[in-house]
Structure 1
């Protein structure tokens, strides 16, 4: 497989890094494009991969093209390209729906995808938007690419706003939770960096426990909460403080905002 990246920002770099680390692609099979001469020089020096200022060069040299430019740049970029039918095009542009992609591409040659920030540490949850016109082989290729930086799920496009709340924006909520736990520990005399490290590892481990356990999250809560113990005191306090309502309310706000933004496009 020869992979080309149109745009080489943080997300494209994370994906390429994951693919190289897992040896799913070789450097000689990569080409990226960027408008900035300084960026191109750094890419060639730091990554030892081919670079170009011409987006069409990426198309011509690649089997799979990763569209990693900002949504407001997509029309201009796609409008200037000639993309053969046998090329697979993967868009990571949030807010650029399939209806827009259809204006420039055959329905059988593109997939809309949405990785999240955690791709940088190979723990992304990436949504691949359903497209019945794309071959099973190309869907498998797409899954392999994004599984290199985490895990994937295939969902209908009308559930993408739900996915954004669950995986796209939720890292910020988790960061807030980690920071709040750490600050609570600082209040009692622990150093902030130590508290952050402990809280982050606790959240990381808890996530893995949920993924691999046969028990539901609620059952796991019960297992940690010994009768008359300190954990149940914390759980009851959060329940009395409308913790669940606050999380649900935050999720509702994300959905409402996404719908408002989508309505403007």
Structure 2
């Protein structure tokens, strides 16, 4: 299968890397477009795949398109393309709904997805948005592609707001948490670089523990919290300062913002 990337930013590059490293496709079967000649040349060398300045060339040569342009560019890009040839399309353009995509594409030929930043390190989580009309072949292909850069969940479009909050945007919250832990350790004499490494590894290991465990996160908290111990005082301090409510309010704010943008 020939796979083309219209728009070849960070997310598209992560997907291309996942496809190549997982041996789902050969680099010779990939093609991308980029409007800047100098950047196209650099990317061709970096990824060892063919590049072009023209979206139409990518469209015509591909069986499947990864649509990775910025959301405000989708209309311009899709209206300018001659669609005599009709490849499958996987959209990773945040905020562009199924309804909006049907204005330019046959409903059975596209899937809307939402990968997150961590796909860049092969640990992403991607939502595949339900489309009852989509061809089963495309759905299975989309799952394979995004499993090459992490995990996949299928969700109705009505749940995109909370997904964006707890997956798409949450890396920023986690980065903030790691940085805050590190800054707290600097107060006690650990260098910022070393403290950041320690905190990041602790968060990485904690996430893997949750995923690998059959227990709830709160039960795992109990395992770390010895009666009368250090961790208990830390947990109680967070509870007294409404840590949980602050996170919930942050998610609420992001869901509300997504709803506003989707109107």
TM-score relative to the length of structure 1: 0.96
Give deviations 1:182-219, integer Å, cap 9, x for gaps: 01110000011111111111111111111111111111
3-state SS of 2:82 partner: coil
Q: Residues 11-90 of structure 1: matches in 2 within 5 Å?
A: 11-83=11-83, 87-90=87-90
Aligned ranges for residues 144-163 of structure 1 at < 5 Å? 144-163=144-163
Instruction: Give 1:85 shift.
Output: 7.2
RMSD between aligned residues: 1.1
Bigger shift: residues 197-206 or 48-57 = 48-57
Report how many residues are paired.
263
Relative to the length of structure 2, the TM-score reads 0.97
Contact 1:85/1:109, CA 8 A, preserved across alignment? no
Q: Are residues 248 and 217 of structure 1, via their aligned partners in 2, closer, same or farther at CA, if it must alter by over 3 Å? A: same
Q: How does 1:109-188 map onto structure 2 within 5 Å?
A: 109-188=109-188
Q: Give the Å deviation of 1:261.
A: 2.1
Structure 2: distance between partners of 1:144 and 1:239: 41
CA distance in 2, matches of 1:84, 1:234: 62
Deviations, residues 213-265 of structure 1 (Å, cap 9, x unaligned): 111111110111011110111011100111111111111111121122223xx
**Tell me, which stretches of 5 or more residues in structure 2 are unaligned?**
none
C-alpha contact (below 8 Å) 2:115/2:125 kept by paired residues: yes
Question: 3-state SS of the aligned residue for 2:145?
Answer: helix
| 1:66-110 deviation digits (Å, cap 9, x = unpaired) | 001011111010001133575210001011111110001000000
Structure 2 equivalent of residue 255 of structure 1: 255
Q: CA–CA distance in 2 between the matches of 1:253 and 1:50?
A: 42
The DSSP-based 3-state class of the residue aligned with 1:14 is helix
Contact 1:85/1:106, CA 8 A, preserved across alignment: no
What residue ranges of structure 1 are gaps of 5+ in the alignment?
none
SS for the counterpart of 1:138 is helix
Contact in 2 for aligned 1:64/1:88 (Cα 8 Å)? yes
Q: Give, in whole Å, the separation in 1 of the partners of 2:195 and 2:207.
A: 18
Indicate conservation of the 8 Å contact 2:60/2:85, yes or no. no
Q: Distance in 2 between matches of 1:258 and 1:31?
A: 32
